Amino acid sequence: MGRSDTPRVTIHEVARRAGVSHQTVSRYFRHNEGLKPETRRKIDEVVQELNYRPNLVARSMRTRRTNRLAITLPASAYLWPVRLLGAASAAAHAEGFQLEVVSVEGDARARAERVLELAASGQVEGILSLSPLDLDPAGAPVPVVVTGDYDDNLRGVNELADASPVAEIIDHLAGLGHRVFLHIAGSQSFASARNRRRVYEQTVESRGLTSYGVADGDWSARSGHDAVRALPDDCGVTAIVAANDHVAMGAVRAALARGWRVPGDVSVFGWDDEELGRFATPSLSTVAVDREVQGREAVARLVAEVRGEPAPEPAARSLNRVIIRESSGPPPR
């Protein structure tokens, strides 16, 4: 009772409708970059039309493979990198793998022990760790790829903590005529916040500009709001570089409450390209962080390890991109 009489679509039916062999369809689900664009297009259309999904259980029984990968994250009170995980999951599925997210407690050594247990369990074919592990990946039973882009508390480090766009922001604002700047910093327990403050101070000094100072913040809109409300009327600040979009939106709200036009009297820059900032009034100038690329590239490295293929070359690009919107403009004359 309740069982559907509709037969399950098979890989052979997909192949027949697309006019290709079933081996080609299998390649499509395993590693379709080697297929001709027209072949991929035909299979794409049939797969979408039939809503076909490969039978991973049957495949694992034939090949003795699980077709499962794992991403391990340190247990943390901070928000998980949702955008990265979403892109990583989609990339793994496109390669015919299921992806599981595993929270691992403890320091780097304790996490390494848990990862080794998972690697030896036979449940997964490869493991991606987004934080450092105290182990030699070469000694693990299955491929283990460590990106090290997050610390023990899921705070961004390495490429995610790159603050070089701050210099680009200041140069852009200085080019518009701004001379007196304020930085509202993030929590200094984060490498990204420390780096942004450092680059801000170095750039303002090296360009011969004036910094009214650095206001201590905690990534919250409240900290941005309070920092701007505390400015004297004669401070001369016309450009604010905020640690993130939440801080920036708090700064904008406080500026408007004081009767300052944004950007007519003061320009404000954020960081992260949060969706809310795109639809705010004024829309927020910011730095977009492409965490989706990070997730896709990390999974591509792991899949290559699992298949014994050369690691793909990462794209020659930065994860960060400065976006100019309505909250920045020339200073008052």
Could you list the pLDDT tens digit for every one of the 333 residues in the chain? 444 455 667 778 888 999 988 778 877 765 555 678 888 888 888 888 887 766 554 454 444 577 899 998 877 645 667 888 888 899 999 888 999 988 887 777 888 888 889 988 888 999 998 877 888 888 888 999 887 666 555 556 566 668 899 999 999 999 999 999 999 999 888 888 899 999 999 999 999 999 999 999 999 999 999 999 999 999 999 999 999 999 999 999 999 999 999 999 999 999 989 999 999 999 999 999 887 888 888 899 899 989 888 888 776 667 789 999 999 999 998
Please check whether residue 125 lies inside any domain of the structure: yes
Please check whether residue 3 lies inside any domain of the structure: no
- Tell me, yes or no, whether 150 and 262 share the same domain: no
- Tell me, yes or no, whether 15 and 129 share the same domain: no
Split into its structural domains, the chain has a count of 3
Bridge partner list, 150: 156
By DSSP bridging, strand 180-184 and strand 126-129 are: unpaired
Q: Which of 297, 252, 253, 248 is nearest to 273 (CA)?
A: 248
Peptide bond into 263 cis (omega under 30): yes
- Tell me, yes or no, whether 81 and 128 share the same domain: yes
Residue the block writes with tokens 């920036």 = 248
Name the residue type at position 84: L
- Tell me, yes or no, whether 142 and 205 share the same domain: no
Estimate to the nearest angstrom the gap between the alpha carbon of 297 and the chain centroid.
11
- Tell me, yes or no, whether 123 and 165 share the same domain: no
Residue the block writes with tokens 């320091």 = 107
- Tell me, yes or no, whether 23 and 71 share the same domain: no
Residue 330 is classified by DSSP as P
Residues with Cβ within 8 Å of 202's Cβ and at least 6 positions away in sequence, in order, are 167
- CATH number of the domain where residue 36 is located: 1.10.260.40
Q: What is the CA radius of gyration of the chain?
A: 25
Bridge partner list, 240: 182, 268
pTM: 0.68
- Tell me, yes or no, whether 163 and 245 share the same domain: yes
- Tell me, yes or no, whether 227 and 263 share the same domain: yes
Structural domain boundaries, residue 208: 159-289
- Tell me, yes or no, whether 169 and 271 share the same domain: yes
- CATH number of the domain where residue 113 is located: 3.40.50.2300
CA-CA distance, 95 to 126, in Å (whole number)?
A: 13
Q: Which of 185, 204, 165, 201 is nearest to 285 (CA)?
A: 165
Please check whether residue 49 lies inside any domain of the structure: yes
Name the residue type at position 81: P
- Tell me, yes or no, whether 117 and 231 share the same domain: no
Please check whether residue 4 lies inside any domain of the structure: no
Please check whether residue 296 lies inside any domain of the structure: no
Please check whether residue 314 lies inside any domain of the structure: no
- Tell me, yes or no, whether 112 and 211 share the same domain: no
Residue 71 is classified by DSSP as E
Peptide bond into 282 cis (omega under 30): yes
CA torsion sign for 133, 138, 142, 145 is positive
Residue 154 main-chain phi, psi, to 5 deg: 65, 30
Q: Which of 174, 215, 177, 179 is nearest to 196 (CA)?
A: 215
Domain termination site, one of 258, 273, 289: 289
Q: Which tokens hold the place of 72?
A: 């391990």
- Tell me, yes or no, whether 183 and 79 share the same domain: no
